[in-house]
């Protein structure tokens, strides 16, 4: 494996060239992925980007932590959504480097991290130190204007998580029928 290093940058500090490259990587992985539109930088300004690079500074693996608000049992919690995980070259260890760096960041900052994965990838995330729950996503709701509520329709995915200082995931898992209201349904 090539020598690598991990950069951690806020969205507001990403150069235009990196935004374009991240968009290319994500579009290759998910053809309908959104772009990092520099004219709308405020949308991703507070996101924390993780960039795994080789010794020639080429991007090998990318992902981000997205500030999300959860409302659970009448209390508001700030978590970090684990999202947009992609490796340029699969099965080369770069995804593990990325997920390990994100794990260390969440542990160091004592924040709860929550993301979603295809069930076939559960083993990978478990090896990287995350826990997996299978039915969590069906409990996600978002409050809409005029008192309406929208339920998550992305029910096939499993949820990966790392509990933070707030012990939110332990609380959520101990109340299996209680709704979770979130500022974003998908990330």
Domains in the chain: ranges and CATH: 4-182 (3.40.630.30)
Q: Which tokens sit at 92?
A: 């080369």
Read off the pTM: 0.93
Q: Determine the pLDDT at residue 89.
A: 86
Q: How far apart are CA 52 and CA 187, in angstroms?
A: 20
Q: Determine the pLDDT at residue 1.
A: 55
pLDDT in tens, 143-171: 998 989 998 877 688 999 999 999 999 99
pLDDT in tens, 85-115: 999 988 899 999 999 999 999 999 999 999 9
Backbone angles phi, psi at 70, to 5 degrees: -110, 140
pLDDT in tens, 120-129: 999 999 999 9
Q: Over the chain, what HEC string results?
A: CCCEEEEEEEHHHCCHHHHHHHHHHHHHHCCCCCCCCHHHHHHCCCCEEEEEEECCCCEEEEEEEEEEEEEECCEEEEEEEEEEEEECCCCCCHHHHHHHHHHHHHHHHCCCEEEEECHHHHHHHHHCCCEEECCHHHHEEEECHHHCEEECCCCCCEEEEECCCCCHHHHHHCCCCCCEEECCCCC
pLDDT in tens, 16-74: 999 999 999 999 998 887 788 888 889 999 999 999 999 999 999 999 999 999 999 99
């Amino acid at each position: 494996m090539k020598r690598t290093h991990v950069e951690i940058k806020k969205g507001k500090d990403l150069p235009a060239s990196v935004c374009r490259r991240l968009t290319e990587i994500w579009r290759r992985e998910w053809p309908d992925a959104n772009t990092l539109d520099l004219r709308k930088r405020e949308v991703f300004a507070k996101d924390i980007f993780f960039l795994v690079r080789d010794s020639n500074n080429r991007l090998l693996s990318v992902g981000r932590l997205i500030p999300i608000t959860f409302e659970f049992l009448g209390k508001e919690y700030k978590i970090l959504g684990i999202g947009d995980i992609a490796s340029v070259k699969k099965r080369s260890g770069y995804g593990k480097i990325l997920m390990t760096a994100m794990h260390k960041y969440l542990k160091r900052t004592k924040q709860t991290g929550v993301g979603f994965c295809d069930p076939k990838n559960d083993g990978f995330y478990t090896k990287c130190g995350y826990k997996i729950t299978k039915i969590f996503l069906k409990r996600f709701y978002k409050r809409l204007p005029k008192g309406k509520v929208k339920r998550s329709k992305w029910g096939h995915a499993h949820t990966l998580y790392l509990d933070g200082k707030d012990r939110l995931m332990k609380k959520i898992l101990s109340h299996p029928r209680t709704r979770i209201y979130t500022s974003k349904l998908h990330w």
